[in-house]
């Protein structure tokens, strides 16, 4: 049975069943990734930024077992943001190649069409069945990044301390667990605006203005994700010359996610990128003692950042792609495929 599903009102048993399916998928497709924990799972699935909407459906086993709801065997959600519907589809490994994935995409695409959106996007992990799946549905690849993973067990902590000390004169590093303080928000948002152009076409828009930045931090907290920030303040001008953001999700607290790292163009060449990332790792070591890995995503063209990450010990893991489709064409194609 496939039905629209609201994670805010779903039973705890359904949330647990979805988590179980997600972990079975991780074990099948990304066995090196840590399994997810149930902490804040409901919030993770339901909380959104102001102005965004998420619509979900589940495929559930037909026969309830002793009054319990049937296991969740498939899940699709679409996040309506800006002018795009961002899709996520999960099918239990035991149920694959029976057409369920295609059926779920068709359901979501029809709704996105009815809502008046013209394009859909999806993140697709390289080396998994999802690549052939989305290509078979006519999605095309718009963008490829490389995911890299750092094992903290292999980090040379004293070398990191030396890197931090190597930052140029006039810069002060600051650590902000939870997010930038109020008096820094405006300067921080101005620095984030610099990468607006680079973000074009990505599915995870950055926060360019102070209010959007506050909303985005609030949303992260509500979803059980703890942000940490290191900024490099240029003392003579008060500019945030550089910043780096890492998020520790309650759902997989042993592996943190690197978000943006930015050094303003006119502050490059002072060792800021290396220093802020090194300081972040040193801070995380005490703030999050359970953390064992950090993962980061970089455009293959971003050679400077790839070099910094390689020096820190990050190892390339796999491709991470963004695929897109025009909604009307997709609906038409899926209807024709039956
Ligand atoms: C991608 C996914 C949704 C596909 O679900 P599914 O129910 O197996 O898909 P379908 O049966 O509807 O397949 C539709 C078509 O996609 C293509 N396809 C799907 N899986 C494929 C595979 N493993 N190899 C080649 N083609 C494949 C085929 O053309 C298939 O049609 P066919 O079976 O008639 O040949 C499922 O594998 C999945 O959940 N993957 C995990 C997704 C994910 O996000 N993982 C990352 C982190 S958890």
| Per-residue pLDDT tens digits of the chain, which is 338 residues long | 999 999 999 999 999 999 999 999 999 999 999 999 999 999 999 999 999 999 999 999 987 666 666 999 999 999 999 899 999 999 999 999 999 999 999 999 999 999 999 999 999 999 999 999 999 999 999 999 999 999 999 999 999 999 999 999 999 999 999 999 999 999 999 999 886 544 444 444 556 789 999 999 999 999 999 999 999 999 999 999 999 999 999 999 999 999 999 999 999 999 999 999 999 999 999 999 999 999 999 998 888 889 999 999 999 999 999 999 999 999 999 999 87
pLDDT at 201: 42
Which residue among 2, 33, 92, 97 is best mutated to probe the pocket of ligand 1, counting the most ligand atoms within 8 A of its Cβ? 97
Total residues belonging to the chain: 338
Ligand 1 midpoint to CA 128 (Å): 9
Going by alpha carbons, the residue nearest to atom 9 of ligand 1 is: 101
Atom of ligand 1 nearest to the CA of 129: 23
Pocket mutation for ligand 1, best pick of 129, 134, 323 (most atoms within 8 Å of C-beta): 129
Question: What lines the ligand 1 site, CB under 6 Å?
Answer: 25-26, 29-30, 89-91, 96-102, 125, 128-130, 132-133, 136
Tell how far the Cα of 59 is from the centroid of ligand 1, in angstroms. 15
In what helix (H) or strand (E) does residue 247 lie, and over which residues does it extend?
strand 239-249
Cβ atoms of 257 and 295 within 8 Å: the answer is yes
Task: State residue 197's pLDDT score.
Answer: 45
The token pair that represents 41 in the structure block: 């799972």
Ligand 1 atom at minimal distance to the Cα of residue 102: 12
Indicate which atom in ligand 1 lies nearest the CA of residue 92. 39
CA of 334 to the centre of ligand 1 (A): 14
Mutate to test the pocket of ligand 1, among 41, 91, 133 (most ligand atoms within 8 A of CB): 133
Position 206 scores a pLDDT of 55
- The rounded Å distance from CA 9 to ligand 1 centre is 29
User: CA 146, CA 195: separation in Å to the nearest integer?
Assistant: 18
- How far away, in angstroms, is 30 Cα from ligand 1 center? 15
| Contact criterion met (CB below 8 Å) for 222 and 49 | no
Strand order in the sheet with 255-263: 2-5, 53-60, 72-81, 84-91, 119-125, 315-326, 140-151, 293-299, 255-263, 239-249, 225-234, 171-177
Sign of CA dihedral 161, 162, 164, 165: positive
- Atom 41, ligand 1: which residue's CA is nearest? 90
The answer to whether the beta carbons of residues 314 and 297 sit under 8 Å apart is no
- Could you count the other beta carbons within 10 Å of the beta carbon of residue 110? 15
Whether 46 and 101 have beta carbons less than 8 Å apart is answered as no
Q: How far apart are CA 24 and CA 17, in angstroms?
A: 11
Q: Which ligand 1 atom sits nearest the alpha carbon of residue 26?
A: 48
Nearest CA to ligand 1 atom 29: 136
How much is the pLDDT for 337?
Answer: 84
Span from the CA of 37 to the centroid of ligand 1 (angstroms): 25
Distance 125 CA to ligand 1 centre (A): 12
Cα 130 to ligand 1 centre (Å)? 5
First to last CA, the chain: 18
In this structure, how many other beta carbons lie within 10 angstroms of the beta carbon of residue 74? 22
Closest to 198 (Cα-Cα) out of 298, 50, 102: 298
Give the model's pLDDT for residue 114: 97
Q: Whose CA is closest to atom 4 on ligand 1?
A: 101
Task: Work out which ligand 1 atom sits closest to the CA atom of 88.
Answer: 44
Q: Atom 18 of ligand 1 has which residue's CA nearest to it? A: 133
CA distances to 8, 221, 224, 288, 318 from 33, in Å: 27, 23, 19, 18, 12
């Amino acid at each position: 049975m496939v039905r629209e599903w609201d994670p805010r009102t779903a039973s705890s048993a359904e949330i647990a069943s979805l988590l179980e399916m997600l972990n079975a998928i991780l074990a099948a497709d990304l066995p090196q990734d840590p399994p997810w924990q149930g902490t804040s799972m409901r919030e993770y699935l339901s909380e959104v930024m102001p102005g965004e909407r998420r619509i979900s459906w589940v495929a559930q086993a037909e026969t309830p077992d002793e009054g319990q709801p049937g296991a969740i065997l498939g899940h699709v959600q679409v996040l309506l943001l800006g002018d795009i519907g961002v899709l996520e589809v999960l099918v239990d490994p035991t149920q694959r190649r029976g057409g369920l994935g295609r059926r779920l995409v068709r359901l979501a695409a029809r709704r996105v069409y009815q809502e008046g959106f013209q394009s859909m996007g999806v993140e697709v992990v390289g080396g998994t069945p999802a690549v052939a799946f989305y290509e078979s549905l006519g999605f095309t690849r718009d963008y490829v990044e490389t995911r890299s993973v750092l094992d903290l067990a292999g980090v040379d902590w004293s070398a990191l301390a030396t890197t931090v000390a190597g930052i140029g004169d006039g810069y002060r590093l600051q650590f902000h667990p939870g997010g930038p303080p109020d008096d820094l928000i405006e300067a921080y948002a101005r620095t984030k605006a610099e990468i607006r152009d680079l973000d074009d076409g990505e599915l995870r828009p950055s926060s360019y203005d102070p209010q959007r930045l506050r909303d985005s931090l609030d949303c992260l907290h509500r979803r059980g994700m703890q942000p940490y920030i290191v900024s490099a303040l240029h003392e003579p001008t008060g500019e945030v010359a550089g910043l780096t953001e890492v998020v520790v999700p309650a759902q997989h607290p042993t592996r943190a996610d690197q978000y943006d790292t930015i050094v303003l163009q006119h502050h490059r060449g002072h060792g800021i990128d290396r220093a802020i990332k090194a300081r972040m790792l040193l801070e995380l070591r005490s703030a999050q003692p359970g953390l064992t890995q950090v993962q980061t995503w970089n455009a293959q063209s971003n050679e400077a950042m790839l070099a910094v990450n390689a020096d820190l010990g990050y190892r390339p893991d796999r491709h991470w792609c963004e695929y897109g489709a025009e909604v009307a064409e997709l609906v038409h194609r899926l209807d024709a495929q039956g």
